[in-house]
Amino acid sequence: MPKFTLYSPNARSVELRLYREAQGGAPEHRYNLEVAGNGWWRLHLYCDLTGWYYTYRVQNPDGWQRETPGPWATAVGINGARGAIIDLEATNPEGWEADRRPPLCASPIIYELHHRDFSISHTSGIHHKGRYLALTESGTRTADNLATGIDHLTELGITHVQLLPSFDFSSIDETEARVPHYNWGYDPQNYNVPEGSYATDAVNPSVRIREFKMMVAALHKAGIRVVLDVVYNHVASVAASPLECAAPGIYFRRWPDGTLANGSGCGNETASEHEAMRQLIVESVAYWAEEYHIDGFRFDLMALHDIATMKAVSRRLHAIDPTICVYGEGWAAAPSPLPARQAASKANMAKLPAIAAFGDELRDGLRGPFADDKLGGFLLGNAQAISAVKRGIVGATNHPQLADIHPPHWAKRPAQMLSYVSCHDDLCLYDRLLSASPTLSTDEAERLSLLAHTAVLTAQATPFIFSGEELLRSKRGVRNSYNSSDMINAIDWRGKSLHYQLFTALRRLIHLRRQHPLFQLPTAKAVAARLRFLDVGNHVAVAFTIDAPPSIGDSWKQAVVVLNADERPLHLALPLNYYTLYLKSFQSSLSGLTTLHTDTLEVPPHSPLIAAVVS
């Protein structure tokens, strides 16, 4: 029997409207909700309303608000304007009860993808292009018979897929299913419902829910955990938002003069410090974790949320399962009324030990500054970027060899930093390299991409890879491609054949990291004690050794990693010993290429090297 509840502390009355249709027509029934205390209203209807649609209408002192499904709708009709009454249990695909989170890998590696980018190209060989179901298709191949889709992910060896916004967002008209349309989805409409345009049928409210669950189950079956990109910090439109329509003036931050604050750069920001917004965030992630078996959450502009809210989020999720991961962008897009000391920002990460944040130092150190695409970083031989790369290598922790350098440390434990060189936002790596160095050859770009990802994957941090980087993806120089066409955003799977040496080297790097726990030392103290930067003279290079603590059970005694961004080869002096080479430029092997008895390792220009002293 349906139970309707709405938080609306200033309302004079709240009306429930029942419709036969998801759009248009007049309500067939209207009921008034009753006061339930603490700002809540409620109504119990003792009849089966499955198949009906509903809205609330709130009367405030200043008049009637727009109709809304309210912030807590868990099913909606097309375009999310009305809530839908469905049998949620009936949306469970076959075997859903047996679906379990895959075991948490000791070395998580996150892979960020957009549903449409990943599958829409004709080169993907995927049937359900641009849909949730694309990630359920195994056996898909390129014309050259190389794996695509979910098989590609398992081949690559990543452990977590981070999906770009997949909750119901507003920018795509779900009634225009056959028109090519694209959006990243950072324009939230209904937080607790999957987006309809990624479903094979956006009209039937159950289909998007069932197909989303099928996707999660397929990824779990492939051993991959699923992370949702959540955007509670702002909404598409305040006036049309279920938050504002349900409880005007409650959910959004304002400046003292009454104007809406805009720390998101998208026109508004939510007020997580308000009890109602905090509860919405905490219970929404818990709902996704329980109903959809989601394994992690990436918080967009996390610094717009207050520390107390993020603590409540991690507490709530870790009570469900302590292996659920929580991380976010430790910054805002613009000034916010939220006091800096309360913000869940990078600077305050010591107060949020259970949560991780993106390390932009490593990103900008490798590729060049965020603010100027024409300037190159470490990869293009900029020696000034060396210290930022080193800070990233130690997972933004305090390290004795980096005591006085800029950028400063901020992570309490190394895995608290996400190491990355690119993400959906901004130029992808190939385009960023070309922007700063327009004459760069494709061969050279492949080489530098491998160098960049060796830094990302040997850092004592949580590695994060933007989908398609392993195929030297290009977005044709478009920085903010949030609504660009498929021509810009689609992954061209032919890149897997064209750049197969890059793909193979990245795959081996991922597997090397997963096989060797010394790349993910558990504490900042262990990193400080066991990771040593080596002297590289005046080369634009970073070289370091990691001594494996006996307790972690690594088959290597010591790893040697060299990132040579110089145009000259580097001859690295080491104590005389037996060194087994695992990766040297594009040559790589999980069992070792060769073992040398030497006191010098030669690293080619613009190339990485990984060697080890094997016990």
Closest to Ca ion by CB, 194 vs 608, is: 194
- Nearest distance in Å: CB 235, Ca ion: 13
Strand pairing partners for 549? none
Annotated catalytic residues are 300, 329
d(CA 288, CA 228): 9
Contact track, Ca ion, 86-115, x by CB under 5 A:
------------------------------
Nearer to Ca ion, 69 or 368 (CB): 69
Identify residues 23-82 at the interface with Ca ion (CB under 5 A).
none
Q: Kindly state the smallest distance separating residue 48's Cβ from Ca ion, in Å.
A: 27
Residue of this chain nearest to Ca ion (CB atom) = 168
Q: With respect to Ca ion, which residue has the nearer C-beta, 91 or 585?
A: 91
Q: Which is nearer to Ca ion, 176 or 443 (CB)?
A: 176
Count, residues near Ca ion per rule CB under 5 A: 3
Pick the piece of the chain touching Ca ion (CB under 5 A) from 167-175, 313-321, 384-392, 528-536.
167-175
* Contacts with 172 (C-beta within 8 Å, 6 or more apart), sequence order: 181, 182, 183, 195, 197
Q: Which of residues 189-208 bind Ca ion (CB under 5 A)?
A: 195-196
Q: Rounded to whole angstroms, what are the CA distances from 97 to 123, 209, 367?
A: 35, 15, 45
* Using rule CB under 5 A, residue 15 touches Ca ion: no
Where does this chain touch Ca ion (CB under 5 A) — which range of 165-173, 178-186, 267-275, 556-564?
165-173
Is residue 187 a contact residue for Ca ion (CB under 5 A)? no
Phi, psi of 519 (to 5 degrees): -80, -10
Q: For 26-64, give the secondary structure using H, E and C.
A: CCCEEEECEEEECCEEEEECCCCCCCCEEEEEEEECCEE
Pairwise CA distance, residues 104 & 514, whole Å: 12
CB of 171 to Ca ion, least distance (A): 8
- Tell me the DSSP string of 57-115: EEEETTEEPPPB--TT-SSB-GGGSSEE---GGGGPPTTGGG--PPPPPSS--EEEE-H
Q: 335 burial class (0-12, 13-18, 19+ CB within 10 angstroms)?
A: exposed
CB of 196 to Ca ion, least distance (A): 5
In 378-522, at which residue ranges do the beta strands (DSSP E only) sit?
417-419, 462-466
SS (HEC) of 318-337? HHHCCCCEEEECCCCCCCCC
**Closest CB 172 distance from Ca ion, rounded Å:** 6
- The least distance separating Ca ion from the CB of residue 218, rounded to whole angstroms, comes to 23
Task: Kindly write out the interface string for residues 124-163 of this chain, putting x where it contacts Ca ion by CB under 5 A and - elsewhere.
Answer: ----------------------------------------
What is the spatial distance between Cα 330 and Cα 356, in angstroms, rounded to a whole number?
9
Query: In which residue are the tokens 């790893």 written?
Result: 559
CB closer to Ca ion out of 215 and 509: 215
Q: Looking at 164-172, 243-251, 506-514, 529-537, which segment touches Ca ion (CB under 5 A)?
A: 164-172
CA dist 266 and 261 (Å) reads: 10
Q: Does 168 bind Ca ion (CB under 5 A)?
A: yes
Binding site for Ca ion (CB under 5 A): 168, 195-196
